[in-house]
Amino acid sequence: MRASALARSNIALVKYWGKRDATLNLPAAGSISMTLDGLETRTTVEFGPWERDTVFINDEALEGKGLAKISKFLDLVRPGTLCADVRSTNSFPTAAGLASSASGFAALALAASQAAGLELTPQELSVLARRGSGSAARSIVGGFAIWHEGQKSDGTDSFAEELAPADHWDLRCVVLVTRKGPKDVPSTEGMNHTMETSPFYAEWLNTVRRDMDGAKEAIVQKDFVRLAEVSEGSCLAMHASAMAARPAVIYWNARTLELIHEVRSLRAQGKACFFTIDAGPHVKVFTTAEDVYGVKAYFQDHPSVEDLLVAKPGQGAELL
Ligand code: PMV
């Protein structure tokens, strides 16, 4: 009744922003991402006749709401009344402010289901991971993942699958950490509030449906220019809808905006690069294997960059 799993983080190229069902974490639209090598969570789950679940993340015991969220997730696979001991570590600095929920819930879904004796298909695993955190559905899959919006109310058709394997296209993601500071508005809170109050939300959804086709084709054809157009457009439309919410949800800081301009000017100088930003102020720069050294060198000692990580396409979740 014990298993260990490893899963990697992912960054969306077409963003997920809004749920049509908050309990099942069903998305209002599909999304597309790249799984990131090296940004890993390793998790061990053991079920036993204990009184309560215990969860340690990077050797720190989780309590309160965080623990309750994991326990509720474990209820989906828990054998009878057994409790779980969960030990999880992230390979990437948590202080960097990068979301670890995608790799975290993907690793937990695989380790917990295996420890409970369930043999889930990759689709079922993705559905299970989705219940913990929407974007975790995509971290079950390696390379380039597409998370289907799905139609069914029970969510069984809303899972991620591989659009192309990790070795299909040697892209790089350079993560520019703009600050190690206060917490951002959590993604669920930000997306729910945008959906409820932003006059631009319906229009944002229209962009997603168009961008899904554009990004899919760009990835299959390895068309960097097209992917840059679609992906920056999706990111900016998501943030525009959040900024138009009342009151506004603004994830950017001054450095975020400065780095957006830097990426655009680097591109004008001929470097293959584009930016994307999630529910926080950090800027992720996608580039090619050819241009990654130039991009990295440019931002390495930039005054607006506190920390820099480089990732290539990674594999899907695996048992250890
Ligand atoms: O998986 P969640 O609930 O943390 O939401 C992720 C939201 C974004 O990172 C902003 C977009 C995405 O598709 O990953």
**What is the predicted pLDDT for the residue at 184?**
87
Taking alpha carbons only, the member of 259, 210, 256 closest to residue 233 is 210
Ligand 1 centroid–CA 30 distance in Å is: 12
- Judge whether residue 93 has pLDDT over 80: no
Looking at residue 100, its pLDDT comes to 81
CA of 121 to the centre of ligand 1 (A): 23
Closest atom of ligand 1 relative to the 31 alpha carbon: 13
**The pLDDT value given to residue 179:** 85
CA 227-229-234 angle, 5° bins: 90
pLDDT at position 7 over 80: yes
- Give strand pairing partners of 123: none
**Range in 50-64, 128-142, 173-187, 271-285 the model is least confident about:** 173-187
Say how many C-beta atoms besides its own lie within 10 A of residue 205's C-beta: 16
Q: What is the DSSP letter of 96?
A: G
Task: Dump the DSSP string for 222-249.
Answer: T-HHHHHHHHHHHHHHHHHHHHTSSS--
Encode pLDDT of 153-164 as tens digits.
999 999 999 999
Residue whose CA is closest, atom 6 of ligand 1?
135
Could you give the CA distance from residue 295 to residue 263 in angstroms, rounded to a whole number? Answer: 9
DSSP 143: S
With beta carbons less than 8 A apart as the criterion, state whether 232 and 275 touch.
yes
Q: How far is the CA of 16 from the centre of ligand 1 (A)?
A: 6
In DSSP terms, which residues pair with 310 in a beta bridge?
Answer: 174
Residues with CB under 6 A from ligand 1: 12, 15-16, 31, 99, 101-102, 133-135, 187-188, 278-279
pTM: 0.97
Q: For 168, which DSSP code?
A: G
Write the pLDDT tens digit of every residue in 26-48.
Answer: 999 999 999 999 999 999 999 99
pLDDT in tens, 173-204: 999 999 876 788 999 999 999 999 999 999 99
